[in-house]
Amino acid sequence: MTDGTGALTRPIEYSFEFFPPKSEDAAAGWWRAVEALSAYGPAFVSVTYGAGASSQAPTFDAVKRLIDETDLVTASHLTVVKATSSEVDNVIRRFRDAGVKRFVALRGDAPDGVGTAYRPHPGGYANAAALVAGLKAIDDFDISVSAYPEKHPESADRAADIAMLKAKADNGADRALTQFFFDNDVFEDYLNDVRRAGVTIPVLPGIMPVQNLNQLKRFAAMCGASIPDFLEKRLGNLVDDPAAHFEVAADIAAEQVLDLQKRGISEFHFYTMNRSKLLIAVFDRLGIKPAESASDEKMLGRTG
């Protein structure tokens, strides 16, 4: 890692999130992104997972390909909605038998859609904390869980939200990956509250380089994340200038990482949206370079 103007002063560790492709064309683009980003040696990558049997197959296929065709440390997301605990346990064992040793344990969205009241499935795991315990009862998996700097939209308040994070940590979670955010003061305040509550596991900030501002606003509305005024001011007038939007979006993400490092953060989780170019531009600004050959680095757990 180089140290120049705007570059990181110390190495960081980072992981990448992908989602399973839904078509052959999407699969080709996803794999190109995997190949491009694997050269940066992430600590691990994760693949998202939806509710119900129809969403399991794409995740399983994507995770299996990553395990079979790369040396990337791969985690599968897992949710508890629309399934009994025994059905979820069977999924866990199937993924384990395919070589999965890491999971991102999540409750999942309410079965009736975002904004509706969540009801546990009859005979299912009640929440993500219960899922963590269930995973640990099956095997000694490495487990990541979610965290919400701006509070989960269904939590009564921040204290209740952090109490759930503590339950997940107490049941064996190894780290937390946050929902994306753009105000680092909010994250720092949240992390201080988390530590005061006795939660000691690493909390990795989720960084979302802005591919599309309008799309981001829709995501934010669904998950309770806020869009600061500065983001609108810097990107709002660039909708019709994709080249300029790209450069400014890369600047914003790099600036956020640099500021978080100044605040003592050394591990990050990046939401790739199955695209590589913008994240590579962010890394270039941070002074993070790919290995000369991904195979030389075994595409495993290296920083630039």
- List C-alpha distances in Å: 100 to 62, 64, 82, 153: 12, 8, 22, 30
**Residue 117, C-beta contacts closer than 8 angstroms, at least 6 positions apart:** 110
How many other C-beta atoms are found inside a 10 Å radius of the C-beta of residue 98? Answer: 14
The tokens of 203 are what? Answer: 């909390």
- The residue from 13, 17, 154, 292 that is catalytic is 17
The tokens of 22 are what? Answer: 């839904």
How many other C-beta atoms are found inside a 10 Å radius of the C-beta of residue 30? Answer: 23
Per the annotation, the verdict on 150 as an active-site residue is: no
**Residue 54, C-beta contacts closer than 8 angstroms, at least 6 positions apart:** none
Catalytic residues: 17
